[in-house]
Structure 1
Amino acid sequence: MFVGHAVFAFALVAGAAVIRGVDSTRAFSLGAVAAAFAAAPDVDIAYAFVGVVGAEATSALSVASQFWQTGNLVHRTMTHSVAVAPVVAVAAALWLRGRRLHRWRELVAASGLLAAVVAVAAVVSGGLGVFVMLLFAAVAVGITEGTERWTDLGPRATFSAALVGLVSHPFGDLFTGSPPAMFYPFDATVFTDRLSFSVDPTLNLLGAFGLELLVIWSGLLVALHLSGYSLRDAVDGRAALGAAYAVSVLLIPAPTLELSYPFVFSVLAVGVVGAAPRVRIRSRRVELPDRLAALCTGLAAISIAGFAYTVAYLVA
Structure 2
Amino acid sequence: MFVGHAMLGFALVAGGARLFGRSRERSLTLGVLAGAFATVPDVDMLYALSGLVGETGGVEGFWSASTLVHRGSTHSLLVGVASALGFALCAAGLTSPRPTERFLGSRRARPAAGLATLLVLVAVAGATSGPLGLAVMGAFVLAGLAVTTAAVRLTDFGPVAIGSAALVGLLSHPFGDLLTGEPPLFLYPLDVHPVAERVLLSADPTVHLLGAFGLELATIWLAAAVYCRLTDRSILAHVHWRAALGVAYAGAVLALPAPTVDSAYRFVFSVLAVGVVGPAPLARQVSRPFRAADRGWPAFGTVGTGWPARSEGVLTPLLTGLAAITLAGLSFAVGYALL
For normalisation by structure 2, the TM-score amounts to: 0.86
1:208 pairs with 207, 212, 219, which one?
A: 212
User: What corresponds to 2:200 in structure 1?
Assistant: 196
User: What corresponds to 2:292 in structure 1?
Assistant: none
Please give the root-mean-square deviation of Cα atoms over the aligned residues, in Å. 1.5
User: What corresponds to 2:329 in structure 1?
Assistant: 306
Specify every segment of 5 or more residues in structure 2 that has no aligned partner in the other structure, as ranges: 98-106, 284-311
> Secondary structure of the residue that 2:53 maps to in structure 1?
helix
User: What corresponds to 1:218 in structure 2?
Assistant: 222
8 A contact 2:282–2:316 mirrored in 1: no
User: What corresponds to 2:319 in structure 1?
Assistant: 296
Pairwise CA distance, 1:104? 3.1
Spell out the pairing of 1:32-71 with structure 2 (5 A cutoff): 32-55=32-55, 57=57, 63-71=58-66
User: What corresponds to 1:106 in structure 2?
Assistant: 110
Q: Deviations over 1:161-189 (max 9, x none)?
A: 11111111111100111011110000001
- Counterpart residue identity of residue 113, structure 2: A
Aligned equivalents of 1:182 and 1:270: distance in 2?
Answer: 35
Aligned equivalents of 2:227 and 2:108: distance in 1?
Answer: 36
- Counterpart residue identity of residue 26, structure 2: R
> Secondary structure of the residue that 1:197 maps to in structure 2?
coil
Q: Does 1:246 align with 2:256?
A: no
8 A contact 2:81–2:167 mirrored in 1: yes
User: What corresponds to 1:285 in structure 2?
Assistant: none
User: What corresponds to 1:132 in structure 2?
Assistant: 136
- Counterpart residue identity of residue 44, structure 2: D
**What is the total number of aligned residue pairs between the two structures?**
301
8 A contact 2:205–2:260 mirrored in 1: yes
Spell out the pairing of 1:264-283 with structure 2 (5 A cutoff): 264-271=268-275, 272-277=277-282
Specify every segment of 5 or more residues in structure 1 that has no aligned partner in the other structure, as ranges: 58-62, 279-288
Aligned equivalents of 1:56 and 1:132: distance in 2?
Answer: 22
Pairwise CA distance, 1:230? 1.3
Q: Deviations over 1:229-253 (max 9, x none)?
A: 2112101122112111111111111
- Counterpart residue identity of residue 198, structure 1: S
> Secondary structure of the residue that 1:152 maps to in structure 2?
coil
Aligned equivalents of 1:41 and 1:4: distance in 2?
Answer: 13
Q: Deviations over 1:69-125 (max 9, x none)?
A: 112101001000001111100111111110013833211111101111111111111
- Counterpart residue identity of residue 213, structure 1: L
Spell out the pairing of 1:88-99 with structure 2 (5 A cutoff): 88-99=83-94
1:73 pairs with 62, 68, 71, which one?
A: 68
- Report percent identity of matched pairs: 48
> Secondary structure of the residue that 1:276 maps to in structure 2?
helix
8 A contact 1:45–1:72 mirrored in 2: no
For normalisation by structure 1, the TM-score amounts to: 0.92
Aligned equivalents of 1:75 and 1:233: distance in 2?
Answer: 39
- Larger CA deviation: 218-227 vs 77-86: 218-227
